[in-house]
Amino acid sequence: MKGISYDDLMSLTLDILQQELSYPKDKAEITAWTLVEADARGVSSHGVARLPAYQKQQEKGFVFPENEPVVELETPVSLVINGNSCVGPYIADFTMQKIIEKTNQTGCCLASVKDSNHYGMAGLWAEKAALSGLVGMAFTNTLKCCLVTFGKERMLGTNPIAMAIPSGEKHNMFLLDMATPVVANGKVQVYDRQTKPMPDGWCVDENGSPLTDATRMNQLTKTHVPMGGHLFLGGQGEIMGGHKGYGLGLLVELLCSGLSLGRASYSTFQNPGSGSGICHFFGAFRLDLFGDAISIKSHISSILNDIRKSAKETGQNRIYIHGEKEREFRENSMKNGIVLDEATEKLLDKYKKKLDI
């Protein structure tokens, strides 16, 4: 199956962002990059299918593409950023660029960000630091959609954790990028677009009963009924560790919203006209804080290789390191084009028609 080329999808996405969403060029470029990278890596939950959601959020006054993020407070090891409800990927890139500069000087840097917006795949920002040879981390809160252990009300977001650790070889970077519930909300949207039932154990309805209908789940999170939603990693209750997933989600919430004095996930997207209130937390540190960076990277690489080589489960012939599947998917996309699902293709066709492309 032949897909659309990376460059063509980038160019089309840029046109849509600039013409349909009136993004200034610099903001359109970084946003298009995050969307196309996600599709190229097979993470369609964070790809160009998000465009209508971005457009809607902008129309409602949650995103102000003309605004600029500002540094409100700075120490040698930290930054406090006010995103001024600008475009999420632009704010994330702005912040991580500054973090990398400061980390190269002082050894480490942490940043809190308030009043931002959806910044695409969290992993891209952690990876940005790792491509500069640093350990990188990126966290964000989101729209409320997850139930805490013993709760039935959506309180926390899918609050992803992204951590990237370089190993000296670009193709052997550890890149963890995980939503803290069983699955990211974008995955539900993929099932919805494809009208497929979701596996049992991902979500529950407003009565706490298993919910496998992705369309209903998608509608649920848009209603004013605040009950029912995603289960955190480990599922319902405590037996299989659901309280641990909830703990990770809450940790991300406190790092993002708590430290930035910004809105918690249960208060984002509440005031049309005044920004969504999404908050982030970023960080990076240098490997040579801990000794010779080349030896450390080589040690990390050998640990990853030992794990790859370890004995496989019956029926499996490969053990993956985090980030590896997406890296290989991307290589294939660069060779054979990016394959989009039918709903996304239709969506792009609609935009093309409208923009007369």
Residues 37-96 that bind a second copy (CB under 8 A): 73, 75-78, 80
CB of 290 to a second copy, least distance (A): 5
Question: What's the closest the beta carbon of residue 199 comes to a second copy, in angstroms?
Answer: 5
Q: Is there binding between residue 131 and a second copy (CB under 8 A)?
A: no
Q: Which CB atom, from 32 or from 231, has the smaller least distance to a second copy?
A: 231
Segment interacting with a second copy (CB under 8 A) among 11-19, 27-35, 39-47, 260-268: 260-268
Q: Does 171 bind a second copy (CB under 8 A)?
A: no
- Stretch touching a second copy by CB under 8 A, among 86-94, 175-183, 189-197, 347-355: 175-183
Output the smallest distance, CB 131 to a second copy, in A. Answer: 17
Name residue, tokens 């294939």: 332
CA gap 1, 14 in Å, rounded: 24
20: left (phi over 0), alpha (psi -120 to 50) or beta: alpha
Nearest to 139 by CA among 126, 150, 149, 153: 126
Residue number, 52 or 201, with CB nearest to a second copy: 201
**Candidates 20-28, 43-51, 171-179, 349-357; binding stretch for a second copy (CB under 8 A):** 171-179
Cβ proximity to a second copy: between 201 and 337 the closer is: 201
Pairing verdict, β 108-116 and 278-286: antiparallel
Residues 284-343, interacting with a second copy (CB under 8 A): 285, 287, 289-291, 295-296, 299-300, 303, 306-307, 310-314, 316, 318-322
Q: Burial of 150 by CB count in 10 Å (0-12 exposed, 13-18 middle, 19+ buried)?
A: exposed
Nearest approach, Cβ of 59 to a second copy (angstroms)?
29
Reduced to 3 states, what is the DSSP secondary structure of residue 76?
coil
Least distance between a second copy and beta carbon 107 (Å): 5
How many residues touch a second copy under the rule CB under 8 A: the total is 81
Burial grade of 271 (CB within 10 A; 0-12, 13-18, 19 or more): middle
CB of 5 to a second copy, least distance (A): 29
Count of CB atoms situated within 10 Å of the CB of 43: 23
CA distance readout (Å), 302 to 169, 276, 297, 309: 11, 43, 9, 10
Nearer to a second copy, 266 or 269 (CB): 266
Residues 149, 76: Cα–Cα separation, whole Å: 38
Residue 333 φ/ψ, nearest 5 degrees: -60, -35
The strand order across the sheet containing 154-156 reads 154-156, 146-147, 229-231, 203-204, 210-211
Residue 88: CB minimum distance to a second copy, A: 20
Segment lying near a second copy (by CB under 8 A), choices 90-98, 106-114, 327-335, 341-349: 106-114
Residue 36 CA: distances (Å) to CA of 9, 50, 75, 278: 7, 11, 35, 22
Nearer to a second copy by Cβ, of 11 and 271: the residue is 271
88/279 Cα distance (integer angstroms)? 10
In the complex with a second copy, the residue whose CB is nearer, 97 or 105, is 105
CB of 136 to a second copy, least distance (A): 12
Q: How far apart are CA 253 and CA 275, in angstroms?
A: 18
Q: Whole-number minimum distance, CB 307 to a second copy, in Å?
A: 6
Site for a second copy in 183-242 (CB under 8 A): 183, 199, 201, 207-208, 226-227, 233-236, 239-241
